[in-house]
Structure 1
Amino acid sequence: MPLNGTRKMNDFRNFEDAAAHILQLLSQQMNINTLFIAKNDGQTNHIVKAINAEEELVTEGGIAPLEQTFCSLSIDYGEKPLVIEDISIDASAQRLEISSSFNNGSFIGIPIYRDNGEVYGTICAMDNVPFEFTEEHQRSLELMSSLLTYVLELESAQEQIQSLSSPLVPVADGIAILPVIGNVTARRAQTIIDRVLGKCAEAEVRYLVVDVSGVSQINSVVGEYLLKLVNTLKIIGVVPVITGIQPFMALKVPHFAEALSGILIEANLQTALRKLGFQLSNESKEKSGRR
């Protein structure tokens, strides 16, 4: 039975979403009790996604010492699928304490690699009764392992792109600029918020100029995210300054300007920085006058 999927690669929100879909595809081909994908750090094994048809042999979210799992045997075996037709008589399996729970069950597993060759984890199938793993099953697992490597690579590249697309540019002590450029989607807006808040804390930013002059598209959802960023900045003690608001933003998000009432809004970066410099000078003078 061929593996047929209807979703495109860019439909997946993240690796776990892709992992769940891949297990569903495999379950259509392999009439086996359990399919799962695990992640490990060399010490522990974490079950990322799992499907159990009847008996729950593997629990999604479960964590165990890597050396005491079948996954460790797959990793030691290498790039080809490790097939254990009968756990009760397999020498390598019998070294694991967990083997006593599987009687004469079956197991197949193959590592999932990152694009740099490091092991991410494994994709495996198992049952508590004998199961015949065909060559087609083995090829399918190899294919899915390669596909998951590709998904990991895409996810890593996307994270780098998102990081570059929301740079925090320091311009003076306590002052930084966040240039927002291009098409802002809801997902990207949330990424910007998550990254910027952490960077503001690390750099001890007191004034953040959010320049939206480079934004090409905006809608009400994205407008809400930008307002969320502004409000969250105020909560953590960072003074937000908005520059570059375009006329089309007011048309797309009618309440945008009204919601920014009380926030310093300037036409461009130059005037915003000049205004901040004036404020900071006054603050310095006031502090000096108190001494």
Structure 2
Amino acid sequence: MASQENTRKRSFRNFDEAAENILEMLSKQLKINTLFIAKNDGQTNEIVKSRNAKKELVVEGTLLPLKNTFCSLSLNYGEKPLVIEDISKSKLTESLEIAAHFGNGSFIGIPVYYESGEIYGTICGLDNVPFEFSEENLYTFETMSALLTYVLELEKANNQIKTLSSPLVPVTTGVAILPVIGEITTQRAQTIIDDILMKTGEINLEYLIIDVSGVSQINTSVGEYLLKLVNILQVIGIVPVITGIQPYMALKIPHFAANLKGILIESNLETALKKLGFVLMQNCEKNSVRF
């Protein structure tokens, strides 16, 4: 039971939660006062997450010119951790105005990259008193930087999947198809509804064909979401057309089909398009016999 609770605590849904967890893990290994993750665009440096033990040296949400920050030194140093054991004596920090605030304190920082090599920002440690960094500390920072890269790529992929999860395929003026493919969770179903409402607000639609022939898994909750989408479309003046309902759907959620009374339901896209007045014709000119 305890292990399950720990797993839940360490899980995260996005980069923001991952960053918080990583700083928490680092703080248990390093007794340095401040740990933080910064994002930069080449000009400005934003503190997206910070963790201060005793004294608040770095404030979350702070936005500064990149050239005036310790992070800029780390980025210029390269892929390995930059260690400054005494900020007051380092030639690297003598041009930084903020260095005076930290006396003979210490700094460690390493860049965080996207997989493409583009820089996201940095993960850093900072103190206003001397701190001795071990080889293990350096290795830990390298590992956490790599982990953040992995999380960034996962978040990017997840956002791309969300974008592709509800593709609206235009057929002609006023008619589009929504192919719903794969396993539908309640979260994805809600994403589809939100996305479709936004897209239908951008184009003038009369009919939306919702094709569910590619759905691999469905349950009662998902059925309710699809019904919700149908009802919303009717309210905003778009005629919903359902195609591809599989036998297992009717067996698994019998009320689904029952609640679609009055809605145009067809076995496949071809019959639905014919019902709307479209005719699919194969171009047989090359195979035709001319007399």
TM-score clears 0.5: yes
Aligned residue in 2 for 1:155: 155
Letter of the aligned partner of 2:145 in structure 1? S
Kindly tell me: are residues 262 and 53 of structure 1, through their superposed partners in 2, closer, same or farther at Cα, counting changes over 3 Å? farther
Aligned residue in 2 for 1:61: 61
Task: Provide Cα deviations, 1:162-210, integer angstroms capped at 9, x if missing partner.
Answer: 4444322221112111111121122332343344344434444442211
Aligned residue in 1 for 2:96: 96
Distance between the aligned counterparts of 1:237 and 1:40, measured in 2? Answer: 45
User: Does 2:193 correspond to 1:193?
Assistant: yes
Letter of the aligned partner of 1:128 in structure 2? N
SS at match of 1:95: coil
User: Does 2:280 correspond to 1:277?
Assistant: no
Q: CA deviation at 1:116?
A: 0.8
Distance between the aligned counterparts of 2:180 and 2:71, measured in 1? Answer: 44
Q: CA deviation at 1:104?
A: 2.7
SS at match of 2:216: strand
Aligned residue in 1 for 2:209: 209
SS at match of 2:42: coil
Q: CA deviation at 1:108?
A: 0.9
The structure with the larger Rg is: 2
Kindly tell me: are residues 7 and 172 of structure 1, through their superposed partners in 2, closer, same or farther at Cα, counting changes over 3 Å? same
Aligned residue in 2 for 1:72: 72
Identity across the alignment (%):
68
Q: CA deviation at 1:261?
A: 5.8
TM-score by length of 2: 0.80
Structure 2 unaligned spans of 5+: 1-5, 279-291
Q: CA deviation at 1:230?
A: 3.6
Distance between the aligned counterparts of 1:173 and 1:245, measured in 2? Answer: 26
Kindly tell me: are residues 219 and 53 of structure 1, through their superposed partners in 2, closer, same or farther at Cα, counting changes over 3 Å? farther
Q: CA deviation at 1:144?
A: 1.1
Kindly tell me: are residues 247 and 142 of structure 1, through their superposed partners in 2, closer, same or farther at Cα, counting changes over 3 Å? same
Task: Provide Cα deviations, 1:55-110, integer angstroms capped at 9, x if missing partner.
Answer: 22223333333222222221121111111222233333343333333233221111
SS at match of 1:51: strand
Counting only pairs closer than 5 Å after superposition, residues 213-252 of structure 1 correspond to structure 2 as 213-234=213-234, 238-250=238-250, 252=252
SS at match of 1:277: coil
Q: CA deviation at 1:233?
A: 4.2
Letter of the aligned partner of 2:115 in structure 1? D
Q: CA deviation at 1:241?
A: 2.6
Distance between the aligned counterparts of 1:247 and 1:118, measured in 2? Answer: 48
Q: CA deviation at 1:237?
A: 5.2
